[in-house]
Amino acid sequence: MTHILPRGFGKAMPQSAVAVIFLPGVIMPCALRYAALLRELDNGVRAITKDLELYAGPGTPPQGYDITMELDGINETAEDAGWDRFHLYGHSGGGAVALGYVAAHPERVLSLAVDEPAYDFLDSTESRGYWSEIDAAGQLPAADRMPAFLKLQLGPGVALPPAPAGTPPPWMTSRPAGVRALTTALKQHHVDPSSYRRYAAPVYFSHGTLSHPYWLSMRDRLAALFPDFTAERYDGLHHLNTSHQAEPARVAQALRRQWSRALAVPSNN
């Protein structure tokens, strides 16, 4: 497990600062993914950027990997920080984990923010169709799987961004196996929809207009379940060029609004 705390955490920061755990998607390490957003939030936030348990060890994913490992990892991270309650933010695979965590431990999460979660653990025609496409991409020749997977994050007719120049970073070597393991774990994990209905704190859902329409149907499903749900659209953005990367100031403002509102919610979610 990897979690990175800001310099001076627990000392220089006032105890009144907002406590937040950030979870990344299946590709980019957490500290890189949220660097721009954390600069906007500055030192008013006690932020932990926590990588997925999927990549806790060297090489292949942990044996028997499942979403429960991720939920336990969040508990361990919060306990290490001395937090009974905290805000939670997740993108893609981390967004799915965040939804699973709220379903299992609603009393610990002051507010939830997700950016295009990989899955909402709700059965629907749209989600079954999307996962069949993901499965088909996983059956392609090895060299074609990752481009096909990334393409499925985008809307019709949206081109893949060019690959970064230079030698791929070392962590990229673990990502194909990570994608396969997370995909399997997500499909095997189950959430009772009523657990979402019982979560009274604010939920923020962001999505880009150039992403796969899968996230529009997810937005509508979750809006019908969470009592306090806000969705925000980011024009011209998509799953591979996300709101918190492209418009970090706007996302920071949205999060501050949500965190302020969460103060008015009773603590017995």
This prediction's pTM? 0.93
Answer for the pair 237, 246: CB distance below 8 angstroms, yes or no. Answer: yes
- Comparing C-alpha atoms, which of 97, 102, 99 is closest to residue 50? 97
pLDDT at 15: 53
pLDDT at 164: 84
Domains defined along the chain, listed by start: 3-262 (3.40.50.1820)
Edge-first strand listing for the sheet containing 203-208: 3-4, 45-50, 18-23, 86-91, 109-115, 203-208, 229-234
pLDDT at 264: 79
Residues lower than pLDDT 50 in the chain: 1-14
